[in-house]
Amino acid sequence: MNPSVILFLSVITFLFFIAFLSGFNAIKIAWQECIKAGNSKQFFKILNKNMFGLKYVLLLVSIVSVFVWIVLEIKLAKASKKNNH
């Protein structure tokens, strides 16, 4: 497997792991706030408020993954042109 593909997959995996941890933390905070308030019906309302930051994390992950993909495609195209000549 191409080293740049391995690098791309590892970067994307790392970024999605960070997004997963952010989402897990938002769920934990929402659950703790529901326990404090004693009202579990507010869980999804509180979760939506806490997930606000996660939306930006996922947007950042998407933008970075597309950017890395484009850079790798350009590098692979240059490498294949170099091998053909």
Q: Which domain covers residue 61, as residue numbers? A: 3-84
As to burial, measured by CB atoms within 10 angstroms (0-12 exposed, 13-18 middle, 19+ buried), residue 42 is middle
pLDDT at 1: 62
Amino acid identity for residue 29 in this structure: I
Closest C-alpha to 32, from 21, 44, 24, 43: 43
Query: What's the CA gap between 53 and 46, in Å, rounded?
Result: 13
Q: Could you give the C-alpha distances from 29 to 35, 43, 46, 56, 69, in angstroms and in order?
A: 10, 10, 9, 18, 34
pLDDT at 35: 82
pTM metric for this prediction: 0.50
pLDDT at 57: 72
pLDDT at 69: 78
| Other residues' Cβ atoms within 10 Å of the Cβ of residue 57 | 19
Number of domains present in the structure of the chain? 1
Q: List, for residues 47-85, the tens digit of each pLDDT value.
A: 777 777 677 777 777 788 788 778 878 887 787 787 776
Query: What's the CA gap between 73 and 38, in Å, rounded?
Result: 53
